[in-house]
Chain A
Amino acid sequence: MGKLRGFLEYDRIDEANIPVADRVKNYKEFTVHPGEEKLQDQGARCMDCGVPFCHSGCPLGNMIPDFNDAVYQNDWQKALRILHSTNNFPEFTGRLCPAPCEAACVLGIINPPVSIEMIEKYIVERGFKEGWIQANPPKNRTGKTIAVVGSGPAGLAAAQQLNRAGHTVTVFERDEKVGGLLRYGIPDFKMEKHVIDRRISILEEEGILFKTGVEVGKNYSVEKLKDFDAVVLCGGATIRRRLPIPGAEAKGVVQAMDFLPKSNRWVDGLTNVDPELHAQGKNVIVIGGGDTGSDCIGTSNRQGAASVTNFEIMPRPADDRTTEHPWPYWPFKHKTSSSHEEGSEREFSILTKEFLTDEDGRLSGLKTVQVRWEKQDGARPKLVEEPNTEKEWPCDLALLALGFTGPEPTLAEQLGIQLDDRSNINADTKSYQTNIPHIFAAGDMRRGQSLIVWAISEGREAAYQVDKFLMGTTQLPTKTNGDLPNHP
C-alpha cells in the first residue's frame, strides 16, 4: 500500500504561507493550498508501517496510514470517510493541532515526518468543497434527552456522537456564539470563524439544539438539568493562571484570554475596540512561550504594536530531538511559529519579578532576572535565579499567556460533583462518569487544559459511555486502547 519507495522519492513539503508583510494586514488565514498532486506525493511518503506510531500518537486514533494511502490513490472521498470515522472536526484539528502524530511518525526517525496534518486539513476541505460533507441525521430517535454543557470541541464532539446514536441533544453555551475556545481563543488568522459556522450548521441540521447565552448555574438552574436523561459537562478549564508578583494589578497587565477574545469579537463585528485591550503603538511583552503566547504575538502585530517581545521561563530548547525525549515521544524542540516569524523578540530562561508602573498605576515596564533549572534527585528540577542578571524592560502591554489551572468551580459546587486533586471534575477515562451517575464530564473540564485533539477524543469517548449507560449497548465507535504511553 502507499508507494513503495515514496519516502525516498519525495521530500516533505509544508503549507506555504503568504508573505509576512501581506498577511499581517488582516486577520485572514494565510496558508497556500499546495495543490492536490503535491498532496498525493505527500501521501505517498507514508510507509504504511507495520506498527504505525502516528496512529498511536494521535489521541483521536486517526487512521493515518489509511487516509494517507487513500489520498495517494486519489480517492479523496474514501480518505474523508476514514478521517471522519475517528474525528468529527478535521477542519479544526487540521489547523490547530500541534500534531503529536508527526512527532511519532516512523519516517521521522530518519527524515522529516509525513505532513499528516496538512493532508488531514485538505481532505476535509476537499470534502466541504465537493459538498460531500452533509448533515446525516439519525433515522430514528431513542427518545432520550441529553444536555451538553459547553460548546467547545469536546462538547461539540460529544453532542454530534450522541445525536448520531439517536438521542435528542441540547448544547448550552454561555457566550453569544457556539465554539468556546475555538471561537474566542483562536485568532482568525489561525482559523477563520466561518469554518466553525459551516460545521455548526451541519450539526443543527442533524438535529442538535444549541442554546447560546445560557450559562448553566447562572441564568439556567442546575435543577433543570434533572429533566435530561444524561448530562455531559464540557465547560473547559477556564481559570487562568495568574502571575502574583508586585504590580500584577497594574493597568496594562492583561490576561491573554481577555485580550484574544476581545480581538476575535472585534474581527467578528460584535464589539468595538477597547484601547486597554489593544496593542496598537504599544511595546508589548507576551509572557508565556506556548501557542496562546504565539497567538498574542500574531494579534499584537496585526493590531500595530510598536514592539513585541516573548518571554519564556524555560531555557531555549534544542533545535533537534534530544536523547531525553526519544522518538516516538514529543520532541520538545525549539519551534518558530508563524506568529514568531511575523516579528517578535524571544527571551528564554527569564523570570518576571515585577510589573513596574508609572504614577497612574499604568504599566511602564517589567523587571526580570535570568534563571536556570537545577536537576534534583527524585524531584522536579529547581528554579535558581542567576545572580546579577536583573534587567528592566519598557512595556505598555503585558499579555499573560500562562495557561489554565482548571475549571470554574461553580457548576460542580451547585451540582454536588466531586473534584480531583487538581481541581478538575473527577471522572475516569473508563466511564467518564462523575459521582452522579447520569452526569458525565469530558474535555479540559475533566482532564485539565490540553490539546484540541484530546478534547474531541474525550467528547467522543464520553458519548460512547453515555450511550452505553443509557441503552445498555452502543454502536458508537471508540478508539479503545493504544495511546502512546507517557515518557517517564
Chain B
Amino acid sequence: MIKKQGLYDPQFEHDNCGAGFICSLEGKRTNDIIHKALDILVKLEHRGAVSADGKTGDGAGILIDIPHDYLQQVCDFDLPEPTTYSLGMVFLPSKENQRQFCIDTLNNEFENQGLEVIGWREVPTNQMVVGEIAGRTLPHIEQVFVRPAEGITLNEKELNTKTFIARKIAEHKVYATKMSQASYFYLPSLSTRTLIYKGLLVPEDIERFYTDLTDKRVVTRLALVHQRFSTNTFPTWDLAQPFRYMCHNGEINTYRGNLNRMKAREELLSSDFFGDDIKSILPIVLHGKSDSASMDMVVELLLHTGRSLPEVMMMMVPEAWEKHKSMDPVKKAFYSFNSCIMEPWDGPASIPFTDGNYIGALLDRNGLRPSRYTVTKDGYVVMSSETGVTEIEPKNVAKHGRLEPGRMFLVDMNEGRIVEDKEIKGIISSKHPYQDWLDDNLLPLKNVPYTGNTTPQEETGYTQRLKGFGYTEEDIKTLIIPMMSAGKEAIGSMGTDTPLAVLSHKPQLLYNYFKQLFAQVTNPPLDGIREEIVTDTSLSIGSDYNLFSVDHVHAKKLRIQNPIISNEDLDKIKFIKHKDFISASVSVLYAIDKGYNGIEKAIENLIDKVKEKVSQGANIIILSDRGINKDLAPIPMLLACSAVHHGLIKHGLRSKFGIVIESAEPREPHHFATLFGYGASAINPYMVNEIIETLVSSQDRIQLTAEQAIENFNKAIAKGLVKVMNKIGISTLHSYRGAQIFEALGLNTKFIEQFFCNTPTRIEGIGLFEVEKEISLRHQQAFASAETDESADLEIGGSYRWRRNGEAHMLNPATIAKLQVATRQNKYESYEEFAKLVNDQSRQLMTIRGMFSFTDLDPIPIDEVEPWTAIAKRFKTGAMSLGSISEEAHETLAKAMNRIGGKSNSGEGGEDPRRFNRDEDGDWRNSAIKQVASGRFGVSSHYLANAQEIQIKMAQGAKPGEGGQLPGPKVNPYIASVRNSTPYVGLISPPPHHDIYSIEDLAQLIYDLKNANREARVNVKLVSEVGVGTIAAGVAKAKADVILISGYDGGTGASPLTSLKHAGLPWELGIAEAQQTLVLNDLRGRIVLECDGQMKTGRDVAIACLLGAEEYGFSTAPLVATGCIMMRACHLNTCPVGIATQDPELRKNFKGKPEHVVNYMHFVAEEMRSIMAQLGFKTVDEMVGQSQKLNMSDAIEHFKAKGIDLSTILHKPDVKEGTPLRNTEKQNHKLENVLDFTLISKAKNALEKLEPQTLTLPIHNTDRSVGAILSNEISKKYGAEGLPEDTLTIYFNGSAGQSFGCFATKGLHLETIGNCNDYFGKGLSGARLVARVPEGVSYKAEENIIIGNVALYGATAGEAYINGIAGERFCVRNSGATAVVEGIGDHGCEYMTGGIVVIIGDFGRNFAAGMSGGIAYLYAADGTFDERNFNMEMIGLENPSTEDLNHVEELLNNHIKYTASSKARAIIDHWEKEQKNFIKVMPTDYKKALERLAEEAKQEVN
C-alpha cells in the first residue's frame, strides 16, 4: 500500500460499488447460486474499476453459507454438527515467521475464551490470476475451525460472542506489534453460519482464485456479492467486501462524527457476559479502515448486545422519521428512542446484510442508491444495483420491485419467506414500550419552565465588547441585517480575493482557518430546502448510557428543536431544575496579561473544570465567554469547545454530557457549523441578539420587533447550517454534530493534534501562540483606545467590499484600473504594471502561490520558447451562463476565445443554436466548451453535438456543493428560449446532479456524453479540497478526458456569503494533490489536467503549470477586461456596466470588445513565455509538473506566515522512470461494442433516405446509453430538427442498461419490452420512448417496477410511455417531455420546469418539490389525494378543465396504443366516471407566467 506522502493521504479514499445477492426461499442449497451471484458482478462490471495494470480490481467478494458437508470432506479433521462450531477465514502474513506469530496469537486467544481450535485448513488458491498490484500484498489464506472447549457449554450465540472477543483481542495484539506484515492479519469472516471469500480481484477471477467455489460440493442457500470502485488504486485485501455482516454501496458522510461518538460510548460499555474482556476488545472500530468496514464493526458489536440484525440496521440507518407526518407512531417512537442512543450513519447507502438467518437490504433515507429485486416463481430472490443481471424468463417472474428510501427488504431464510418492511419494523418497534419511555424521560426544551432568571448585564460597554470580539460595521450590515430582516442568509457575488486567514494582517477569528468540505462525485450534496422531509436540525443533550442495556434511561435527554437558542432558552438551561439534568457554566476567559502561558493554562483549567463538574454529576456544560473586560479576554469559542470535546474523549468522560455554547463570537452560519462540527449541542449567540436589539431600537427603517428579528436570525442560521450539512450530503444535525467535516488551512499539526485531532491540515501554519497574539490584538483595539476617539464606532470592515483599512483584495482600484487601460489600449506596459501589482501583492502574502518563487533557473533566449499563440490555445474562459451574464458579454468572450484558438465555456444555461455556425464576418460565437450542470438547461443532443469539449460541473469554486437559482425577473424570453423554459419563471439548479450520486454514476454520465458526441473531450470540473486527488484518480478511472481543479475563490453570479469564503480550498493544494495522486497511480498520462480560480497573470499560469496543470481557465480577469469593475452586484441584476444583468437598459452600457479579451490573453501568454525562458522551458509540455522549479519564498517575515510549510505541495512522487507527468495518451472509452453501431448499420434507409424503418433486437443491462450515438449522428446531419416523426422504430427485448434512450432525438421510437434501469430517457431530445412488460407475464404491470430511478432527468422534448412503476425522482428537471407512467417513487417532478406528466398510480412523497413549471395530472382511484405527499411550496392543486381532461384522455389513449396498459384501459373504459378522479398540479409562478405571455401575445396582435 502506498503510504501518505506529499498531499496524498490514503485516509481520503472513497468507495462506491455494485452489490447484490441471491437466495433460495425454499432453502435449496446449490453450487449454482454462487456462480449466478458472481455473474451478477460480471454484469455490473461497468460499476467497478480497474487499476492501471488492467488487472487489479478494487476488490470483490462473496459471502455464502458455511458449506459444512464439503468442508467435512476436505478437512483432515472431523467437524462437529453445523452451527456448533465457528469457521474463520483468515488472511495471514506471507512471511512464515510472522504468520506463525499471528496463528499462535489467535490460538491463544481462542483458548483464553474457553474455546478449542479444531484445526486449520489452508485455502486452495490460484495465484496466477492475481494482478501485479494485488500480488504485492497477497496474504496467505487459511481457515480456522473453533468450538467450545471440553466441558464448556455454549449456545450458538454465546459461541459467536466468544469468538468475537477472541478475534478482537488477537487483532489488537497483532496490530500492536511493529511487524512489517502485521496489517496482513485479518479475518474476513468468523461465524457459525457464513463464510466470505474475497480479495483484490476482478469479479470473474473470484472463483478462479478461490478454487473451492467451483467445487460442486460447495453449496449454499444464499450468496451476497460485492465489488468495489474506489477512487484510487491503493485498495487493500482486507477492504474488499462483503464484510462480516454487510456490504455497502455508497458512502458514510458522517463517518468522523460516528467514530468519535462510538469512541465516547466505549467508555460506558459493560456486560456481564463479556466481563472484564469488554475493556480488551476496545477500540471497537480499528484505525484506518474504510467507512463501510467501520460500520460493519459497529453492527457486529450491536449484534452482541442482543439486538437483532434488522433492529441494528434500523438503529444505524433510520428512515426519515422526524418529519414523517403519516408514520405509525409506534415506529416513530422506536426511531425517536433510538436517536437518543445512536446518531444516523448518514450518506447514500444501499446496504445488503446477512447473518445467515436473515438476508436483506436497506436504503438510506434519501434513496440515493439504486437497488432492484426480482422474486421468481421458482423460489429465488435476486437483488442487485441493476435489474437484468441474471437471466430470468419473464414468465417466471413473480414480482419486480425496488428498495425504497429508508425501507428494508428482508428475507427470513429459516422461514423461507419475504418479510415485508411493515411487518418486521412492526415487530421490532413493539418489542419495548418506547413511547412510554420517551414520555417519561425525554424533555423537550419548550417544556422546561422559564423561572425568570436572567443572565446579568455585562459591565463592559457595548462597543468595546463588539471590538473585543472583532465585529465590524460590515459584519452588521452585510451579515446580520439581511439575516434578521429576511430570515435568510445574505447573498453575494464574484469570488473572494482576500488573503487566506493565515496570511491576513488583520487578526482573524479562529473559524476562518477552517474550510468546509463538500461532496463531489463520491456522494451527492443534498437539497434541504426542496427535500425538507428528510432534513432535521433537532438535537438532544444529556448523558449517554451503556449500549448493552436496552431500557428507558437512554431517553433521559433534553430535546431542542432549533439548537440556535435565544437568551431565554439559555436561561432555562442554565437554571434548570430537573432530576435528570444538571447544568454547569464554565467560563472560557483568561487573563490577557499572561499571554500565551495564560491561555495555555486556561485551556488546561477549562478541561479540568469541566471534568470536575461532570464528575459532580453535571450533564450539561455551558461554555461561556461572557464577562470580558480590560483584563479578561476570551479563548476562541471554537477552540474552547473542541478542546473540551476532545479533552474529555481522552479522559473517557465525553459521553456523559452535552456542550451548550454561550458566546459573543458566532455571527454567520460557518461559525455555527464549526461549533456543531466540533461537538456543540446548542448555541446562544448573545452578542448578535444584543446587536439586533440595538438596531431595532435605533434604526427607523427597520420595522421588526427584536423578538421577530432574533427569531429570523436564528432561522437564517439554521437554514445556513442545513446548507452546510447538505453540502457534504448530511441530512441531520444529529449526525453532523461532532463530524468535524472541515479542513484546517494554516494551522500547525501540533495545534490540530492537541485540540482538533483528526482534522486534516496540510500546509502547517500558526499554533496557539499566534492564536493568542490575534486575540490580544483584538483585545488591544477594544481596550487600549486612543486618548480621544474620533473614529467611527467600529471598523468599517472590508472583507466583502474593498476598503483602504480593510482586508486586502487582489482586485482593487489600482489593479482594475491598470488592467482596463492595458487591455483597452493594447498596452503591454500597463499590463506589466497590473501583473506586477498582482504578483507583488500576492507575494505580500495573500495566496499560497504568492509564497512561491522560481528557482533552478536555466535561462534560454525567449525566441526559443514556443509562440504565444501556442500557449493561448491552452487558455479557457470560465463557465458563465447566459443568464448570469448578458448576451453581449457572453458572446464577446466566445468570439475572443475562438479568435485565439482557446475555448470559451457556455456555462450551464444552454446556448442559442444560431451561434453554432460561424458568422459572416468570420467570428464564431459558439462556445467550444458546453457545460452540463445539474440543471441540464438546454442540454440536448444537438447542443452536445456542437461541443469540442463537454464539461460536467461537479462543483463550483464559489459555492461547491450547492445548487443555484436564476430568479424569474432574469429569465427574459431569450434566456428562456435558450434554456428551454418559460419566461419569467425562476429556475433552480439542484445541488446534486441527480444522475451522479457516486463515482460509478459519474462514469455512466461520462459514458452517456461520450456517446452523445464521440469527438468531444469530456471534462469533469472539481473543486479543490482535501482528498480531491483521490477523487481525481477515480474520475480518471471513470474515463474523463480532462479534469479541472477549481480553486475555492472563483467567481459566481450569486452565492451565500458563507460559501464564498468558507467552502473549498485554493487550487494550489488541489492541483498539486491531483497531480501527485495521479502520478502515483500512473493515471496521469490518460488525463488532461486543468486549473482555474482567480488566475490573473502569467506567473499564476506558470505556477499552476509547474504544479501539474496543462490547461488554464480565467473568468474574472477577462470580465474586467471587458469592463467589469467588481461591483459585486451580479445577483441583483443591477450591474451598471451591462455584464451581469439582463436589464435591457443596463445592457446598453456594455462596452467590452473581443479584442480586449484577446489582448489580455496575449499579455498573459507573453508573461508566461518570459518565465519559461527564465526557467529554460521551450514548451509548456516540458514544464508541466516540474515542481522542483519552485521553492518557498524565504522573504516571509510575518508572524503568522512564518510557520507555513509548502513542501507537501512541492512534493514530487518517486515513481518509475518514464511515468508520465502530463497527458500522453487518450482514454480508451471502449465504445466499439456499443449497440448503437449495430443500429446505425441496420438503419441506413432511415438515416440516409429518411424512409420509415423498424428493427427488433435483444438488449441486456450491459447495453448502456442506447440511442445516444444514433442521435448524435442524426443531430450532426439534420440538426435540432432530427428525423421526421416515426422514421425509425426499434424494439428491444430484455433488460435495458442504464440511460436507455438518453438524448434520443426526434424521429426515433425506442421501445423496451422487458424492463429498464436508471436514467431512462436522460436528456430526452425529442424521441418517443416506451417501456412495456412482455406479453404473457402473470404479474400486474401497474404493481411492478419497470424503470429505475431518475427517469427523464433533464428531458427537453419527446414522449415516454411507461407500462409500470418508475423509481424515485421521476422527471426531475424535465423541461419539455410528455410522460405517462403507472406509478412513481418519492420526489417526483422535482425542479420540473416544463412538459406534461400523467401518473395513474402512486406518486410517492414530496411530489413537485421545487417544481416551477410544467403540469402534472395525477389519478387516484377514489379521487382523493393526501396533501401530505405534495411539496406545496411552489404549486397549487386544481381540478382539471375540460380542455385538460381531453388532453389527458388523448395521452392515455396513446399509452394504451403503445403499451396495451390494462390500467389505462380500465380508466378509459369508464372515462365518464374516472375523469373526476384526476387532479392537476400547477406551479403557481408558471401559471402567472403563462397568463402574462398570453396577455403579451394579445397585445402584440392588437
Contact = CB atoms under 8 A, between A and B. Distances in A.
Interface of A: 1, 4-5, 7-8, 47-53, 55-57, 61, 63, 65-66, 73-75, 78, 81-82, 84-85, 104, 106-107, 109-110, 136-140, 164-166, 323, 326, 328-329, 475-482, 484-485, 487-488
A106 B1125 contact: yes
B786 interface: yes
B1489 interface: no
Nearest to B781: A475
List the 4 closest A-B pairs by CB distance, nearest first: A50-B1128, A56-B813, A475-B786, A138-B787
16 contacts: A8-B1134, A8-B1145, A51-B801, A51-B812, A52-B802, A56-B813, A61-B804, A63-B796, A66-B473, A82-B796, A85-B791, A109-B1149, A164-B786, A164-B790, A323-B824, A480-B805
A482 B806 CA distance: 10
Contacts of A51: 801-802, 809, 811-813, 816, 1125-1128
A225 B816 CA distance: 46
At the interface, is chain B mostly helix, strand, loop or mixed?
loop
B824 A165 contact: no
Given A47-B1127, A164-B787, A56 B814 contact: yes
Contacts of B701: 73-74
B813 A482 contact: yes
B787 A140 contact: yes
Contact of B820 (A75, A326, A479): A326
A164 B805 contact: no
Contact of B1126 (A4, A49, A476): A49
Give the most central of A5, A75, A138, A482: most B CB within 10 Å: A482
A164 B1128 CA distance: 37
Nearest to A73: B701
Interface in B1132-1161: 1132, 1134, 1136-1137, 1145-1146, 1149
Contacts of A49: 801, 1125-1128
Contact of B829 (A1, A166, A488): A488
Contact of B790 (A1, A84, A109): A84
Contacts of A78: 792
A89 to B, nearest CB: 12
Contacts of A480: 804-805
Contacts of B700: 74
A66 B796 contact: yes
Interface residues of B, number: 51
Contacts of B1129: 47, 50
A52 B1137 contact: no
B825 interface: yes
B512 interface: no
Of B477, B478, B791, B1146, most buried by chain A (CB within 10 Å of CB) is B791
Interface string B779-813: 00000111110111100100011111100010111
Given A61-B804, A475-B785, A81 B793 contact: yes
Contacts of B1442: none
Contacts of A137: 788
Nearest to B1151: A109
A74 B790 CA distance: 21
A328 B494 CA distance: 21
Given A73-B701, A488-B829, A50 B1127 contact: yes
Nearest to A137: B788
Given A74-B700, A109-B1123, A485-B818, 18 more contacts: A1-B477, A4-B1134, A47-B1129, A48-B801, A49-B1125, A49-B1127, A51-B812, A51-B813, A53-B816, A55-B802, A55-B813, A63-B792, A65-B801, A66-B796, A74-B701, A78-B792, A477-B805, A488-B829
B959 to A, nearest CB: 17
Most buried by A among B700, B785, B792, B796: B792
A23 B784 CA distance: 51
Interface in B92-108: none
Contacts of B1145: 8
Given A50-B802, A63-B796, A326-B824, A106 B788 contact: no
B804 A479 contact: yes
Contacts of A166: 787
B632 interface: no
A49 B1134 CA distance: 11
Nearest to A166: B787
Contact of B1132 (A4, A53, A107): A4
A57 B1127 CA distance: 16
B1456 interface: no
B60 to A, nearest CB: 53
Contacts of A5: 1134
Contacts of A63: 792, 796, 803
Contacts of A138: 787-788
Nearest to A61: B804
A44 B830 CA distance: 34
Contacts of B1250: none
B699 A485 contact: no
B1250 to A, nearest CB: 53
Contacts of B818: 485
A47 B1136 contact: yes
Contact of A476 (B786, B802, B1137, B1146): B786
A73 B699 CA distance: 8
Contacts of B1132: 4
Contact of B825 (A323, A477, A479): A323
A49 B107 CA distance: 75
B490 to A, nearest CB: 11
B448 interface: no
Contacts of B699: 73, 75
A66 B472 CA distance: 13
A48 B701 CA distance: 18
B801 A110 contact: no
A139 B789 CA distance: 10
Contacts of A328: 813, 817
Given A4-B1134, A106-B1127, A326-B821, A56 B812 contact: yes
Interface string B475-490: 0011000000000000
A474 to B, nearest CB: 8
A449 B1206 CA distance: 49
Contact of A164 (B784, B788, B824): B788
Nearest to A476: B786
A329 B817 contact: yes
Contacts of A139: 787-788
Contact of B814 (A7, A50, A81, A484): A484
A488 B822 CA distance: 11
B1128 A7 contact: no
B778 to A, nearest CB: 14
A108 B818 CA distance: 18
A53 B1125 contact: yes
Interface string B86-126: 00000000000000000000000000000000000000000
A302 to B, nearest CB: 37
Nearest to B493: A50
Contact of A484 (B784, B813, B1146): B813
Contacts of B804: 55-56, 61, 479-482
A100 B294 CA distance: 66
A288 B796 CA distance: 42
Given A50-B1126, A85-B792, A104 B813 contact: yes
A74 B702 CA distance: 12
A138 B786 CA distance: 9
Nearest to A328: B817
Contacts of B830: 488
A124 to B, nearest CB: 13
B1394 to A, nearest CB: 30
Contacts of A326: 820-821, 824-825
Given A107-B1136, A164-B790, A323-B825, A53 B1127 contact: no
Given A109-B1125, A109-B1136, A485-B814, A477 B791 contact: yes
Contacts of B788: 136-139, 164
